[in-house]
Amino acid sequence: MKFLVLISALAVFLAPAARAQGHGCEANIEDSLKQDCYPGEGASEESCRARDCVWCPVAEPNPDNIPWCFVYEADGSTPGPLPGFGCEENYLPGEDRVDCAPGEPTNEILCRNKNCTWCPYEEDGVTPWCYIPGTPSVGGYYMVGEPITITNGLRVNLIKAVANESFTFALENRPNPKAWEGEAETLTLDAEFQSNYRLRVKIYNTTSRFEVPLNVQAPTGGNQNPLYEIQFENDPLFSFKVVRKSTGTVLFDSSAGQFIFAEQYLTMSWAPASENVYGIGENEQKSFKHDFSQNITWALWGRDQPPSFTANMYGVQPYYTVLENDGNAHSVAVVNANAQQFSMNSGPVIKYITTGGVLDFYFFLGPTPENTVQQYTEAVGRPQLPPYWALGFQLCRYGYNNIENMKAAVDRTAQYGIPHDVQYGDIDIMHKALDFTYSRENFPGLPDYVKELKTKGIKFMTILDPCISIGEDPEEYRPLKLGNEMDVWVKKVDGSPVVGRVWPQDPVYFPDYSKNATKEWWKILIREFHDLLEYDGLWIDMNEPANFVDGDIDGGCTQNSLNNPPFVPRIQGNYLPSKTICGDHVQEAGNHYDVHSLYGWFQSEPTLTGTREGSGKRALVLSRSTFLGSGHWVAHWLGDNWSKWDNLHFSIIGILQYNQFGVPFAGSDICGFIGSSNAELCQRWMELGAFYPFSRNHNGIDYVDQDPGAWGAAIAESSKNALLVRYTLLPYLYTLFFRSVTEGNTVARALWHEFPQDPATRNIDRQFMWGSGLLISAVLDEGSTSVDAYLPNARLYNYFDGAEEATKADSITIPTPLDKINLHVRGGNVLPTQEPAINTEISRNNPFGLIVALDEEGAASGSLYFDDGDSIGTIENEEYFLADFAVASNTLTSTVVKNGYAEMSQKKLTTVRLLGAGTVGAVTVNGAAITSFTTLPSGEVLITSLDLNPTTPITITWA
């Protein structure tokens, strides 16, 4: 028997008892006969008596756990049944449960005494265990009349379906169903045929609902021959289908489940075209391709959350791509920022639920996987071109703690000859963790050291958190004073600033970056900061926004529908204000309830603009929190990952996702952030990380040093060698970024993007490509010294020796000792290269080369983009060099497409590696025979000692 605790705090929530008869101590039952009437906790006198039991508190202490509420046996009666329902009478799946006690503590007795259903959820405690009884709300709408033609599309008017026989409730005694509050009686669906490849379907009620202020760019081309068709059904209820016209494939069929549009609960379920679904973030996913057999729910709500399977993390990316079974591809963006979730259920069915806004779908019809990303980024904004130096290796740690440790890491890296382009400071370089400061105590002379680094060709990036400490004297701390003057803070309902706690010792205010004044304030501070510390770029952290308390520092959050909505997606903490501010806090763009997940997104543009104004250069901004279209301004690191082998594999998935999301400049902290790394893991991670688009080794505080020079000569050597390959290929990488800026292509690319017809590529997420030309296959498992690599159906050449692989469209096991990573060049590509160096300031001036890898037809193509690497707007201003290379009939020719970068004419192209040409007996360059070539044992023809000017057309022939 358990001692029954009366929790007085809970009792206040009790509804008045229905049957308050029962009995008191006068029943006079012997202690040994007392039979617990309420096993479990939390009975109160009312709930006890309501069950016809005896309520008789026992004096403390109560070592024998004599119950306070026990069965009245005097007349042989047994306890009356609890009101309400249990799982057997009224089981509902989690997402159909309307919380009976939002935000209140509850238990079985409290719950059932409200006539609600108590049914602990089998999986976790995220969904309510106490819910308003009913059958699943069916929802549903009917179409009124025929679709109406509107400009570039169709409009459908919808009216809420009235529940019919089959939707009513079978069980006796069950209270009326509680529908979701405020179900819209009428809705409008607009299908806009925005272009032949872009369809928007927006379902809305009145214009008063929140809509994401996403600036969607107009598409190019007309809509005369759309690749899609939209079909409407009205029986038994309204649903719509998006169909690919050329194949008849149904891409989206909303008849797969409920359609409810209520004030704070909007749901639609649809069948995707296949199970090859990729995307939705930001969550740690264990495979790039979703697994529909597991019914996994992915909740999205920006949160300071290290990767943990299914947990909602920093960013919100409601966007996915489907590879149709025939190899066509399309993608879908759901433009909604409210707390939401996608359940990938068997069927396959995607069940979507959001807690606000409107249902606003954009379909991008491809038909190639790359097309979908091109079309999506055209809509939400293409990436910025990273500065050339940013493609170099970057080094960071939280917890250098003093300038000596920072210098030691920099020196170790240099001592081993490891390329190094960017050094970082984390919050420990700040004075008392205050933005826009550095610690003169722990980092004396940092501004001079930053200048010194620059003379060595190393750039400096530092960190900013969004919040501002209020513990400083405003007269001495300009961010606070100016912020007060410019009125930049997120407010409580009463108009006073929200107060939270993050890294500074004192509480903080939260700037409202959705407000113009805040953007101006932030840019001023960033510009002025450059006078103190000559940063070359900034990383913005904690912008979910993170908070170390839930809600406001004093008093948390008020109990109301914005803080405790009737449905909470399966987010960590099961509470919207968990680790952040309250839903009813007020921002210019809306209630925090609606704009929470846009916090980092609103901060991104002003940070980039301010950083460019401060540095006068192109600069780089990294953001932890992202939303649809963030890639237009910022790059992304995958957050506070773990120094664990799993995270090495998952990093590839995250990087492929962010490339799909239009944020190609993405990478994961090399060697892991949380926990001490180890030699083998860090060695493998340095090798893989050398091929992240964004390549940064970053460590957390108090863990063992993990910079590549910290592990001794062998690991330093393999790190250096992997990075030297990266640096050799930087012109290729930079050209891929040029394509992402101008055409929207991915940089890091999944194999199924290049081989969409090959089903074997669809599950591959342990290998990836750079563009179409380089395949990367690293060891990802502890203790392993080989890689089972899939070699797609193409001519593939070993990067290191140029030997052609015999295997095609099959897996092979490649021995891969600790110091090795496997790289293959794919036939059909011309990869521009440059002799590597210790940093890009030097390597930029080294001679160029070409890797010419021939396909089955002896053909290949590629490009070289180059500019000064650091100016703003080189593409728009046409201050760049671009050459195209083409190979056919044993002849390589170059065509200068743009010659807008004057220094290019001083550069040389000296080497060509020709792969797949067979035995070559003669080579001519621009018509003249040369002798400086040799056929290596691997079959590679190496042409050296060229003295070519890249800005004049080149012709090389061989026979």
Ligand X SMILES: *[C@@H]1O[C@H](CO)[C@@H](O)[C@H](O)[C@H]1NC(C)=O
Q: Among all residues, which ones are annotated catalytic?
A: 541, 544
Query: Quick one: 605 or 940, whose CB is closer to ligand X?
Result: 605
Assess 171 for contact with ligand X (CB under 6 A).
no
Q: Tokens for 561, please give them.
A: 């529908």
Query: Quick one: 519 or 795, whose CB is closer to ligand X?
Result: 519
**CA–CA separation, 627 and 15 (whole Å):** 43
**CA–CA separation, 458 and 395 (whole Å):** 10
Kindly determine how many residues on this chain lie close enough to bind ligand X according to the rule CB under 6 A. 18
* Residue 925: its H or E element: strand 923-925
The answer to whether 560 and 584 have CB atoms below 8 angstroms apart is yes
Which candidate, 93, 88, 87, places its Cα nearest to that of 269? 93
Smallest distance from ligand X to CB 148, Å = 18
Which candidate, 498, 467, 486, places its Cα nearest to that of 585? 498
Q: Choose the stretch contacting ligand X; rule: CB under 6 A; options: 257-265, 327-335, 675-683, 725-733.
A: 257-265
Smallest distance from ligand X to CB 266, Å = 8
Q: Tokens for 383, please give them.
A: 């990436």
For ligand X, the binding residue among 112, 114, 795, 826 (CB under 6 A) is: 114
| Residue ranges in 267-306 that form contacts with ligand X under rule CB under 6 A | 294-295
For ligand X, the binding residue among 41, 263, 613, 758 (CB under 6 A) is: 263
Assess 83 for contact with ligand X (CB under 6 A).
yes
Torsion angle of alpha carbons 651, 764, 313, 464, nearest 10°?
A: 40
Smallest distance from ligand X to CB 209, Å = 5
Residue 105: strand, helix, or coil: coil
**CA–CA separation, 660 and 163 (whole Å):** 41
Assess 20 for contact with ligand X (CB under 6 A).
no
**CA–CA separation, 557 and 564 (whole Å):** 9
Q: Tokens for 418, please give them.
A: 């490891």
Q: Choose the stretch contacting ligand X; rule: CB under 6 A; options: 100-108, 259-267, 457-465, 895-903.
A: 259-267
Query: Quick one: 349 or 701, whose CB is closer to ligand X?
Result: 349
Assess 255 for contact with ligand X (CB under 6 A).
no
Query: Quick one: 93 or 105, whose CB is closer to ligand X?
Result: 93
For ligand X, the binding residue among 90, 107, 115, 580 (CB under 6 A) is: 115
Query: Quick one: 15 or 760, whose CB is closer to ligand X?
Result: 15
Q: Choose the stretch contacting ligand X; rule: CB under 6 A; options: 258-266, 476-484, 733-741, 904-912.
A: 258-266
Query: Quick one: 87 or 814, whose CB is closer to ligand X?
Result: 87
For ligand X, the binding residue among 10, 132, 227, 262 (CB under 6 A) is: 262
Query: Quick one: 35 or 591, whose CB is closer to ligand X?
Result: 591
For ligand X, the binding residue among 346, 877, 926, 934 (CB under 6 A) is: 346
Smallest distance from ligand X to CB 780, Å = 26
- Cα dist from 750 to 139, 520, 776, 861, whole Å: 39, 40, 10, 20
Q: Choose the stretch contacting ligand X; rule: CB under 6 A; options: 28-36, 139-147, 260-268, 638-646.
A: 260-268
| Residue ranges in 182-241 that form contacts with ligand X under rule CB under 6 A | 182, 184, 205-206, 209
What is the per-residue binding string for ligand X in 462-501, x denoting contact by CB under 6 A?
Answer: ----------------------------------------
Residue 167, phi then psi, degrees to nearest 5: -95, -5
Query: Residue 819 carries which DSSP code?
Result: T
Smallest distance from ligand X to CB 201, Å = 18
Assess 560 for contact with ligand X (CB under 6 A).
no
**CA–CA separation, 519 and 514 (whole Å):** 8
Query: Residue 509 carries which DSSP code?
Result: E
DSSP per-residue string spanning 567-614:
---S-GGGSTTTTS--TT-EETTEEHHHHGGGHHHHHHHHHHHHHHHH
The answer to whether 105 and 10 have CB atoms below 8 angstroms apart is yes
Smallest distance from ligand X to CB 184, Å = 4
Q: What share of the chain is helix, strand, coil (3-state, %, to 5)?
A: 20, 25, 50
Assess 111 for contact with ligand X (CB under 6 A).
no
Query: Quick one: 85 or 880, whose CB is closer to ligand X?
Result: 85
Assess 516 for contact with ligand X (CB under 6 A).
yes
Upper half-sphere CA count for residue 787 (Cβ side, 13 Å): 20
Residue 797: strand, helix, or coil: strand
In the block, which residue shows the tokens 């380089």? 774
Which amino acid type is present at position 356?
G
Exposure letters 346-357 (e unless 16+ CB within 10 A, then b):
ebbbbbbbbbbb
Query: Residue 3 carries which DSSP code?
Result: P
For ligand X, the binding residue among 1, 5, 18, 888 (CB under 6 A) is: 18
Assess 908 for contact with ligand X (CB under 6 A).
no
For the four alpha carbons of 643, 644, 648 and 654, in that order, the dihedral sign comes to negative
Which candidate, 869, 874, 872, 811, places its Cα nearest to that of 843? 869
Smallest distance from ligand X to CB 292, Å = 8
Q: Going by C-beta distance under 8 Å and a sequence separation of 6 or more, which residues neighbour residue 683? A: 711, 714, 715, 718, 719, 818, 819
Q: Give the chain's largest Cα–Cα span.
A: 116
Smallest distance from ligand X to CB 807, Å = 36
Torsion angle of alpha carbons 29, 35, 39, 42, nearest 10°?
A: 0
Smallest distance from ligand X to CB 444, Å = 41
Smallest distance from ligand X to CB 349, Å = 9
Torsion angle of alpha carbons 275, 280, 285, 291, nearest 10°?
A: -20
* Residue 664: its H or E element: none
The answer to whether 403 and 445 have CB atoms below 8 angstroms apart is yes
Assess 345 for contact with ligand X (CB under 6 A).
yes
In the block, which residue shows the tokens 């926990």? 675
Query: Quick one: 136 or 399, whose CB is closer to ligand X?
Result: 136
Query: Quick one: 562 or 796, whose CB is closer to ligand X?
Result: 562
The answer to whether 519 and 513 have CB atoms below 8 angstroms apart is yes
| Residue ranges in 680-719 that form contacts with ligand X under rule CB under 6 A | none
Assess 430 for contact with ligand X (CB under 6 A).
no
Q: Choose the stretch contacting ligand X; rule: CB under 6 A; options: 29-37, 255-263, 371-379, 832-840.
A: 255-263
Smallest distance from ligand X to CB 187, Å = 8
Query: Quick one: 185 or 506, whose CB is closer to ligand X?
Result: 185
Q: How many CB atoms lie within 10 A of CB 771?
A: 24
Assess 415 for contact with ligand X (CB under 6 A).
no
Query: Quick one: 217 or 798, whose CB is closer to ligand X?
Result: 217
Smallest distance from ligand X to CB 261, Å = 6
**CA–CA separation, 633 and 621 (whole Å):** 7
Query: Quick one: 19 or 245, whose CB is closer to ligand X?
Result: 19
**CA–CA separation, 130 and 144 (whole Å):** 37
Smallest distance from ligand X to CB 130, Å = 13
List the alpha helices (DSSP H) in 729-819. 730-742, 751-754
Q: Tokens for 635, please give them.
A: 């790059």
For ligand X, the binding residues (CB under 6 A) are 15, 18, 83, 114-115, 182, 184, 205-206, 209, 261-263, 294-295, 345-346, 516
